[in-house]
Amino acid sequence: AKLLVLHGPNLNLLGTREPEVYGRTTLAEIDADLAARARAAGHDLESVQSNAEHVLVDRIQQARDDGTAFALVNPAAFTHTSVALRDALAAVALPFIEVHLSNPHAREPFRRTSYFSDLAVGVVAGFGAASYRLALDAALVRLAPVNT
């Protein structure tokens, strides 16, 4: 199947951005690891990062026609602000897992609100770069629930 990974604003800085919160793994390393794991399981995986809300909205709309079966979405700061991104996911009815490196519930109060969690199949948060890998494992279970 076709899998899509969406990364929101400032995640291009992973590796050097507040490493005590987000770790030292770069986004390129995360994306390469996810692509290799998906490929090994017989799937295709594409990753997109943008600091611009409209780019992410446009990519989600494109998923309506390009055969994307499932998404992993770390909306980053848009988690707490973006009705537009939420509406795009709802419009396309794209099943997705919400992913966070940090645990937003253990941080500032404004991070406790997510515009995505109630639409998501599930949420993986708090495991650093491994959050993405755990979310991919969950997506693979969802896509091929045989013997799991």
Q: Is 43 a catalytic residue?
A: no
How open is the CA angle 129-132-138, to the nearest 5 degrees?
Answer: 145
Residue 26 CB coordination number (10 Å)? 16
User: CA distances (Å), 24 to each of 7, 14, 18, 118, 143, in order?
Assistant: 16, 7, 9, 30, 30
Stretch of 26-34, 38-46, 47-55, 95-103 contacting ligand DQA, by CB under 6 A: 95-103
Question: Does 26 help bind ligand DQA (rule: CB under 6 A)?
Answer: no
Nearest to 42 by CA among 132, 144, 130: 144
Per-residue burial over 102-136, b = 16 or more CB atoms within 10 Å of its CB, e = otherwise: bebeeeeeebeebbbeebbeebbbebbbebbbebb
**Which member of 47, 50, 79, 82 binds ligand DQA (CB under 6 A)?**
79
* Segment interacting with ligand DQA (CB under 6 A) among 36-44, 59-67, 75-83, 133-141: 75-83
Among 7, 43, 54, 100, the one annotated catalytic: 100
From 15, 25, 102, 122, residue interacting with ligand DQA (rule: CB under 6 A)? 102
Q: Is 74 in the site for ligand DQA (CB under 6 A)?
A: yes
Q: 3-class SS at 77?
A: helix
Per-residue contact string for residues 31-70; x = within reach of ligand DQA by CB under 6 A: ----------------------------------------
Q: Catalog residues that contact ligand DQA under the rule CB under 6 A.
A: 10, 74, 76-77, 79, 100-102, 104, 111
Tell me the catalytic residues: 22, 100
Q: Which residues are annotated as a binding site for substrate?
A: 74, 80, 87, 101-102, 111
